[in-house]
A and B are shown apart, each in its own frame.
Chain A
Amino acid sequence: AQSVTQLDSHVSVSEGTPVLLRCNYSSSYSPSLFWYVQHPNKGLQLLLKYTSAATLVKGINGFEAEFKKSETSFHLTKPSAHMSDAAEYFCVVRDNYGQNFVFGPGTRLSVLP
């Protein structure tokens, strides 16, 4: 069975400082991993995805994530936070034999001026 753990329910950073949102997963098979962002009362937008190619994945808006199989992690980072990054972030896993996507509980990112 697949599962996703997002270690922090809320992360607060100052504008211009680095962002780290943590995600650990459990999957029986080779997984696909995704990060989505959700602004208040909006749908989810794909930030980036890992599908067994390069382990360092670059996404939109300066975000990137590194797949580490030995640590079963897929942490999301950004070198410098912007006010517009304040949102909810979801880590998602799907194994290559599954039909469905399993969502983590989300991490709310606050960016302070």
Chain B
Amino acid sequence: DGGITQSPKYLFRKEGQNVTLSCEQNLNHDAMYWYRQDPGQGLRLIYYSQIVNDFQKGDIAEGYSVSREKKESFPLTVTSAQKNPTAFYLCATTDPGRSTDTQYFGPGTRLTVL
């Protein structure tokens, strides 16, 4: 997991509430990503950010929002507009300035809507 922290590990939310998932990295990587993982579907991209103060929608951005005010931080807000938010959420980073283009992943946050 090296250098990427996600908190909390488990999160419970009532329907209709917004909730924010934290992702922090000390790898000095420029690019950060949020993925959603559901059983049998692999990882699907929610949002990504290549640099500070800039981010792009991924394949399933509806009902989610992000910010990138600092290089180290890329929080994800799951809004009440997300109809089925129960899932495992993974944050990842890469360093586009290097040719290795490997993604590094955090330990994940499991969100359950009650």
Instruction: Please give the residue numbers on chain A whose beta carbons come within 8 Å of chain B beta carbons, in ascending order.
Output: 9, 32, 34, 36, 41-46, 49, 51, 90, 92, 94, 99-101, 103-106
Contacts and interface: CB of A to CB of B under 8 A. Distances in A.
Contact of B42 (A41, A99, A105): A105
Given A43-B107, A45-B105, A51-B100, A99 B50 contact: yes
A3 B26 CA distance: 31
A76 to B, nearest CB: 15
A34 B102 contact: yes
Interface of B: 1, 4, 6, 33, 35, 40-45, 48, 50, 58, 88, 90, 92, 99-108, 110
Contact of B101 (A45, A51, A103, A105): A51
A49 B33 CA distance: 19
Nearest to A9: B40
Nearest to B45: A100
Given A45-B105, A51-B100, A100 B110 contact: no
A53 to B, nearest CB: 11
A43 B42 contact: no
B106 A105 contact: no
Given A45-B105, A49-B102, A101-B103, 7 more contacts: A41-B88, A44-B90, A44-B92, A44-B103, A100-B33, A103-B44, A106-B42
B58 A43 contact: no
Contacts of B58: 100
Contacts of A94: 101
Nearest to B50: A99
Contacts of B105: 36, 43-45
Most B CB contacts (10 A, CB to CB) among A94, A99, A101 go to A101
Contacts of B102: 34, 46, 49
B90 A105 contact: no
A100 B48 contact: yes
A42 B44 CA distance: 16
A92 B41 CA distance: 13
Contacts of B100: 49, 51
